[in-house]
Amino acid sequence: MSYRPANAVDRLILPLDVPTVDEARQLVRQTQGLVGTYKIGMQLQFAGGLQFAEEMAREGHSIFLDVKLLDIDNTITSAVKNLSKMGVRFITVHAYPKNMRAAVKALEDVGNKDLCLLGVTVLTSMDEQDVKDAGYVGPTQNLVEQRALDAVAAGVGGIVCSPVESAAMRIKVGDKLCIVTPGVRPEGANADDQRRVMTPYDAIRAGSDYLVIGRPIYRAEDPRAAARAIVAEIESAL
Ligand code: C5P
């Protein structure tokens, strides 16, 4: 099963990183037809976002539930079994081998082939010093590479990494796994707290399948125009 994207719009993932479901709904309305998948992360999950995710999925939207799961095997397997009933397209798990295997087992047990499990390698907000401070030895790239290989071995559908690592990761994961990259910033946009960033054009050329782009869209004066410009930039890179 491959989870690679269909077209330029499908490649754009908009995180609904806003405080309320009402604001999220407004963003969905504003960007209708220009975003392939809406990502619901922790902020909204703790404010009615889970019900909202199910509702959106029922309406036919492609939903990415960014739960970033990490726990003991039994808890992960049970959690993923429940998540698999929600009709969402992507969920994230931290890319530790056992953790990913427990999530894959859950989908095998329930026979769900539609849900794409994404292994989070190293958060794109982390630079070399942050990775060192967390107790890891060696360059960030090595850690990301190791986790990408572990993702392939565990049998998940894709990985999340920085676009700066996409080209090297494509070689590691081959054609089957999808590569999802946050840390994408159009030319001249504020990097915010992201550390390992690239433009949409360069990210696609480097081998990213899906781009998660939030603040440059939802903080823009005209989110629809911002999304349209990014889709055009993605298109130009294909
Ligand atoms: O606003 P911005 O474009 O920086 O949003 C990036 C989104 O991607 C956020 O929702 C963030 O939680 C998520 N993310 C990330 N880095 C990862 C995994 C997820 O930035 N490695």
pLDDT tens sequence across 36-52: 999 999 999 999 999 99
Tokens of 33: 């037809």
For residue 189, pLDDT over 90 is answered with no
Nearest CA residue ID for atom 12, ligand 1: 41
CA distance 74 to 219: 40
Tokens of 185: 């910033």
SS3 for 14-55 is EECCCCCHHHHHHHHHHHCCCCCEEEECHHHHHHHHHHHHHH
> Residue 124: CB within 6 Å of ligand 1?
yes
Q: How far is CA 92 from the centre of its chain?
A: 7
Q: How far is CA 91 from the centre of its chain?
A: 8
Q: How far is the CA of 213 from the centre of ligand 1 (A)?
A: 7
Q: Best of 14, 16, 17 to mutate for ligand 1, by most ligand atoms within 8 A of CB?
A: 17
Each residue's pLDDT tens digit, 55-110: 999 999 999 999 999 999 999 999 999 999 999 999 999 999 999 999 999 999 99
Q: How far is the CA of 124 from the centre of ligand 1 (A)?
A: 7
C-alpha atoms less than 13 angstroms from C-alpha of 232 in its C-beta half-sphere: 6
Helix then strand count (H, E) for the chain reads: 11, 8
Q: What is the mean pLDDT of residues 8-35?
A: 97
CA distance 228 to 27: 14
Active site amino acids: 68
Each residue's pLDDT tens digit, 139-180: 888 999 999 999 999 999 999 999 999 999 999 889 889 999
Contact between residue 206 and residue 183 where contact means Cβ atoms under 8 Å apart: no
User: 227: helix, coil or strand?
Assistant: helix
The DSSP code for 122 is S
Among the atoms of ligand 1, which is closest to the Cα of residue 194?
4
Q: How far is the CA of 74 from the centre of ligand 1 (A)?
A: 27
For residue 1, pLDDT over 80 is answered with no
pTM: 0.94
